[in-house]
Amino acid sequence: MGLYDGFSRLADEREAFQTAGLNPFGTCIDRIHSATEGYIGEQRVILAGTNNYLGLTFNADAIAAAQAALAEQGTGTTGSRMANGSYGAHVALEQELAEFFGRASAIVFSTGYVANLGIISALANPKAVVLLDADCHASIYDACALGGAQIIRFRHNDALDLERRMLRLGERAKDALIIVEGIYSMLGDVAPLQEIVDIKRRLGGYLLVDEAHSFGVLGETGRGLAQALGVESDVDIILGTFSKSLASIGGFAVGNDRSMEVLRYASRPYIFTASPSPSAIASVRSALRTIGQHPELRDQLWQNAYRLYNGLALLGYRVGSHVSPVIPVMIGTKEQGMLFWRALIEEGVYVNLVLPPAAPSGITLVRCSVSAAHSEQEIVAIVRAFAALRDRITLEPMA
């Protein structure tokens, strides 16, 4: 048996994608002109699949801060946080994140994936029980597997199912980890956090919320769903990423208890991963200040989200159940999804094609993500592109 024979099905699918035209998995955006415009080959496209929620990838202050850090501190740390990779800027960012969230402790990681892997795997040890939403991100599942915990899935956004499963645990529920997300990345819906907090208050447990797609988007100051719903004091740890609203790369965890600091010495992904580059840290610190000082960015983001969501719904598309900056459009089969995604690029719009099992419930969808940087004219152009394709491909009927 060859080394890669076990991947023959994947290899066949990859070959089929590549020979049939543009491959939606690993699409090369050849030129970037702004937060919302680029080229795929010679086709100019509106970028509507980038998670650049606040449009800060071309923010002048963030770029200047990154350039200065690059000149002053070099291209990388060449070491982990536990070795030689903690610079003054890393520590400063952690202090700024803790202050932004009003929390006792913050830990910075190299990516959002590693933040989940590092925090959750350290807590989800073989003696632990983790109850997680069935639609949680792959990094959360991987973290639980790495830690060796007992994993109990509850139905997506079903607080009653969570409660039933916690009741079955009896006394063990008091020490269980409950993990949910703020905004779910595929369908754009949000966790029923108030109901989950009520269950936690009655039955115990520790609550971790991944705010990767909701940080900068929800809440009075952009702290996420927990802030928006007024339950921050009941969330033990908030996890997040720098690669969406903060427009860079990296991840973080913030906790109510200063004791979270001990995880630096227990988290293998933290101990053995090189720290983020100085330029990335500098751009994140700048973007964090911008988020705090410019709430109008969130207002513009939500105006754009409503405009696109309503425009697609009026065309008869089946969209997600919630208005959010993540707007999924359900399509029939994988083949129809591929044709539709490529046709959108020909119409000048880039979005994400999501196939099962990445898409929940076995559906195929094209996933739009809205940015505060999108102009009204660009939102209108996206809707027009969908309108032009409405009768060309069989789509899922409206729910």
Domain end, chosen from 276, 309, 338, is at 276
320 and 353 inside one domain: yes
Domain-located, residue 192: yes
Domain end, chosen from 276, 310, 339, is at 276
50 and 153 inside one domain: no
104 and 26 inside one domain: no
pLDDT at 391: 74
pLDDT at 399: 45
371 and 253 inside one domain: no
pLDDT at 336: 87
44 and 106 inside one domain: no
253 and 172 inside one domain: yes
Residue-wise pLDDT for 206-235, tens only, equals 999 999 999 999 999 999 999 999 999 999
Domain-located, residue 281: no
Pairing status of strand 105-109 against strand 31-32: unpaired
36 and 148 inside one domain: no
118 and 208 inside one domain: yes
Domain end, chosen from 276, 310, 334, is at 276
Domain-located, residue 396: no
pLDDT at 398: 43
pLDDT at 123: 98
List Cβ neighbours of 135 (8 Å cut-off, separation of 6 or more). 156, 157, 181, 184, 186, 187, 360
Instruction: Quote the pTM value.
Output: 0.94
Helices (H), the chain: 8-19, 60-73, 88-101, 112-123, 138-147, 159-169, 193-203, 225-228, 268-271, 278-293, 296-314, 334-346, 376-389
Domain-located, residue 38: yes
Q: Which CATH number characterizes residue 50's domain?
A: 3.90.1150.10
Per-position pLDDT tens, the chain of length 399: 788 888 888 777 777 766 666 677 778 899 999 999 999 999 999 999 999 999 999 999 999 999 999 999 999 999 999 999 999 999 999 999 999 999 999 999 999 999 999 999 999 999 999 999 999 999 999 999 999 999 999 999 999 999 999 999 999 999 999 999 999 999 999 999 999 999 999 999 999 999 999 999 999 999 999 999 999 999 999 999 999 999 999 999 999 999 999 999 999 999 999 999 999 999 999 999 999 999 999 999 999 999 999 999 999 999 999 999 999 999 988 888 888 999 999 999 999 999 877 777 778 999 999 999 999 999 999 999 999 998 766 555 544
Domain-located, residue 339: yes
Give the chain's radius of gyration (CA, Å): 21
Domain-located, residue 111: yes
Q: Which long-range contacts (CB under 8 A, 24 or more apart) does 334-342 make?
A: 334/364, 336/364, 336/393, 336/394, 336/395, 337/364, 337/365, 337/366, 338/17, 338/20, 338/24, 339/393, 340/366, 340/389, 340/393, 340/395, 341/24, 341/366, 342/21, 342/22, 342/24
Residue type (1 letter), 22: L
Domain-located, residue 395: no
269 and 360 inside one domain: no
270 and 158 inside one domain: yes
Can you give the residue range of the structural domain that contains 306? 5-58+295-389
101 and 173 inside one domain: yes
23 and 165 inside one domain: no
Number of structural domains found in the chain: 2
Domain-located, residue 69: no
Q: Which CATH number characterizes residue 100's domain?
A: 3.40.640.10
